[in-house]
Copies of this chain bind each other. A is one copy, B any other.
Amino acid sequence: MVERDPSATPSGPRSAGRSGGPAAAVGPEVDAGPPPVAAEAPDVGVHRRPRRSDASRAAILAAARDRFAADGYERATIRAIARDAGIDPSMVMRYYGNKEGLFAAAAEIDLRVPDLTALPPEERGARLVRHFIELWEGDETLTGMLRVGATNDAGAECIRRVFAEQARPMIDAACPVPAEAAARAALIESQILGMALCRYVLRVPPAVDLSHDELVAWLAPTIQRYLTAERP
């Protein structure tokens, strides 16, 4: 009597799915499959008829983002998330399958990487650094994902994917030698994430005390070099 939904297996093929749909869609559908009437092409996820429970789903997702960000994966409990959302914990299970599914849904991140090709090459490092500083300080979800990524495999995979899908194309476009783009992207990622780690996660005092302008002044030449300087 448990066969309510074949796609809700707790330890299923997580890494396979979510191929190329729109990034900020409603989230993975674990719930109750297509109703028997009007299965209506399940491929394109655009403008499906809104469900009555969409408000609850959104509330859960918002609470999950906050809790994961604040507490990390292990300490962010489903019960606490449900409490924050004003909803029963069993609803979380119904909508997102299990805790990993909830995390995957909450971990949709948009880096909003700016288009660097429109800028003169020597300004690209500074632009990038400033963008990421503002991004990180405007959304503590980013800090949370960093926290989760450090402890949890799914979290690490999420960070890898976000940077590979969103930052890599920009770096590819701005990079002189295509074969070096991967290494350069990794170097840039290491400096960006490293500063984020020190400032927002570990809260190393001298890193926290640096102003935006100081950060840009120091970090921009580094990023610039990783981006365009000749391979050493």
Contacts and interface: CB of A to CB of B under 8 A. Distances in A.
Interface of A: 72, 74-75, 146-147, 149-151, 156, 159-160, 163, 182-183, 185-187, 189-195, 197-199, 201-207, 209-210, 214, 217-219, 221-222, 225-226, 231-232
A150 B146 contact: yes
A147 B73 CA distance: 12
Nearest to A187: B218
Contact of A202 (B159, B195, B225): B159
Given A194-B192, A222-B225, A202 B151 contact: no
Contacts of A183: 206, 209-210, 214, 218
Count this chain's copies in the assembly: 2
What 5 A-B pairs are tightest by C-beta distance, nearest first? A194-B194, A150-B150, A74-B74, A186-B206, A182-B206
Given A146-B150, A182-B206, A191-B194, 15 more contacts: A72-B151, A147-B151, A149-B150, A150-B202, A160-B202, A163-B204, A183-B206, A183-B210, A183-B214, A185-B206, A186-B198, A187-B219, A189-B194, A190-B197, A194-B194
A193 B159 CA distance: 16
A163 B206 CA distance: 12
Nearest to A195: B190
Contacts of A232: 217-218, 221
A229 B8 CA distance: 55
